[in-house]
Amino acid sequence: MAARAKRKGDLSFSSSLNVLLYRTVFGALATISPPQERLIRLDGRSRVLVFSTAGLGDALLDSAGIRALAETFPEVAIEAVVHHRRRDIAAHNPFLKKLHFLRKGPLAFFSLWSELRGPWDAVLYLSCHDPEARCMGYLLARDATIGLAWRTKMPWLCARNIDEPGLRRAHLAAQAVRVAGEAGAATDRVRMAYCVAEEDRRVLDATLAELGAPGAPGVVFQLGGGGGSYRDWPVAHFVELARAAHAAGIGPIFILGGPDHRRRADEFAAASRVPFFDVVGRLPLPQSAALIERARCLVSTDTGIMHLAFAIGTPTVALLHCSPGPDRVGPTADCEHHAVIALQRPDGYCSPPDASMSAIRPDDVFPRLRELFFRGA
């Protein structure tokens, strides 16, 4: 335990040192040669670079901005710098011509810079963290960089820092579209992008056959995830919902999640007493997407899987914490196909843990699940 804490401290110190180095070097460069905003006019010969290097859900939300740009300018070549652990999301975005992968460290930075050098007509910062993305964009096309003012501590490296009244509270996908809009994209349509590949469907079939599970779920329960345990719905509530669903003829029931949700899956299995199929920790993201594509309905909290279902178009019962709330992470398209149940902010609320998802009762969720499940029957 002490060794692990020491390694974590060493990594934190190293990261802080890297940030200081980047800020010092690029602060000096920006003083000598500050970004001077230039007019951006895209045409069929243009090249646009997008930075989207945050988490799974953020990458999907960012895809709305990429889609808006691609649908406005079908001939523009759009390339993206993504986190190497999020390549599956970007690889299934049909609007991206080429991917580049961000890794930490000065050597990786200069290797990526060498790979990306060449004329860029616009550089868009979507969900990305300081300092690497901002510094890289400055080197590549400092006068054509666009980003949101509140998402960086290095605004002096960006030519256009968007900061409009109300935009900070807007839906996160709409924020990505607004960044694309500054480069000329139409902003009246907010829709994420994810395309399930045929190969992923075949791999899913083989995996389900090995597990003795049917090829198509009736309903999928995403048991957890989403960047904070306060967003999780209690396992006991999932169990109660599963019993009500089974009694109503809703099924087959699948439970889904990553390897870190194994304990919750075991807890569900010990208490459920209804038939279900457990694929928790068994499906990589592309096959999880293929499973969701086939489902009649998904029940999920605020997770990347929820956004994946929105992008694919699977009807979803979204159980959302009051932070950040449905206005910022709920569905943006085909809203009539989904049901949002939002936790109310209690009196005296100060921080997310002050509001418990247990306040959303299974009795609140079941009627919406039943409605979505039987709607297309």
- Helix ranges (H only) for the chain are 2-32, 56-72, 87-91, 106-116, 132-141, 172-182, 198-211, 235-247, 262-271, 285-294, 304-312, 326-329, 362-375
Q: Catalogue the long-range contacts made by 10-18 (C-beta closer than 8 Å, 24 or more residues apart).
A: 15/104, 18/104, 18/105, 18/106, 18/131
Say yes or no to pLDDT of 10 above 60. no
Say yes or no to pLDDT of 352 above 50. yes
Instruction: Report the pLDDT value the prediction gives residue 17, as an integer from 0 to 100.
Output: 66
User: 29-182: CATH homologous superfamily?
Assistant: Glycogen Phosphorylase B; (3.40.50.2000)
- What the block records as the tokens of 289 is 């997407």
Edge-first strand order for the sheet with 98-102 is 98-102, 77-83, 47-52, 122-125, 145-148, 160-162
Q: Comparing C-alpha atoms, which of 101, 87, 108 is closest to residue 22?
A: 108
Distances from the Cα of 113 to the Cα of 77, 96, 129, 195, angstroms = 18, 19, 17, 29
Instruction: Report the pLDDT value the prediction gives residue 339, as an integer from 0 to 100.
Output: 97
Instruction: Report the pLDDT value the prediction gives residue 14, as an integer from 0 to 100.
Output: 55
Q: What is the mean pLDDT of the chain?
A: 93
Q: Would you list the domain boundaries of the chain? A: 29-182, 198-375
Q: How many CB atoms lie within 10 A of CB 213?
A: 19
Lowest-confidence segment of 7-16, 285-294, 359-368 by average pLDDT: 7-16
Q: Using 50, 70 and 90 to split pLDDT, how confident is the model at 1? A: very low
Which carries the bigger pLDDT value, residue 95 or residue 225? Answer: 95
Say yes or no to pLDDT of 3 above 70. no
pLDDT digit string, tens, across residues 30-49:
999 999 999 999 998 999 99
Q: What is the mean pLDDT of residues 222-226?
A: 87
Rounded to the nearest 10 degrees, what angle do helices 132-141 and 106-116 cross at?
30
pLDDT digit string, tens, across residues 65-80:
999 999 999 999 999 9
Q: Do domains 29-182 and 198-375 have the same CATH topology?
A: yes
Q: What is the mean pLDDT of residues 272-276?
A: 95
Q: What is the mean pLDDT of residues 277-297?
A: 97
Q: H-helix or E-strand containing 324?
A: none
Q: Comparing C-alpha atoms, which of 179, 177, 180 is closest to residue 189?
A: 177
pLDDT digit string, tens, across residues 134-187:
999 999 999 999 999 999 999 999 999 999 999 999 999 999 999 999 999 999
What CA–CA distance (Å, rounded) separates 271 from 347? Answer: 33
Instruction: Report the pLDDT value the prediction gives residue 20, as an integer from 0 to 100.
Output: 87
**Exposure class string for 256-274: b at 16+ Cβ within 10 A, else e:** bbbeebeebbebbeeebee
Of the chain, the end-to-end C-alpha distance in Å amounts to: 54
- The set of residues, in sequence order, having a beta carbon less than 8 Å from that of 297 and lying 6+ positions away, is 218, 219, 220, 250, 314, 315, 316, 317, 369, 372, 373
Distances from the Cα of 76 to the Cα of 126, 168, 178, angstroms = 18, 28, 18
Q: What is the mean pLDDT of residues 95-101?
A: 97
**Rg for the chain, CA atoms, rounded:** 22
Q: What is the mean pLDDT of residues 78-104?
A: 94
User: 198-375: CATH homologous superfamily?
Assistant: Glycogen Phosphorylase B; (3.40.50.2000)
Instruction: Report the pLDDT value the prediction gives residue 377, as an integer from 0 to 100.
Output: 62
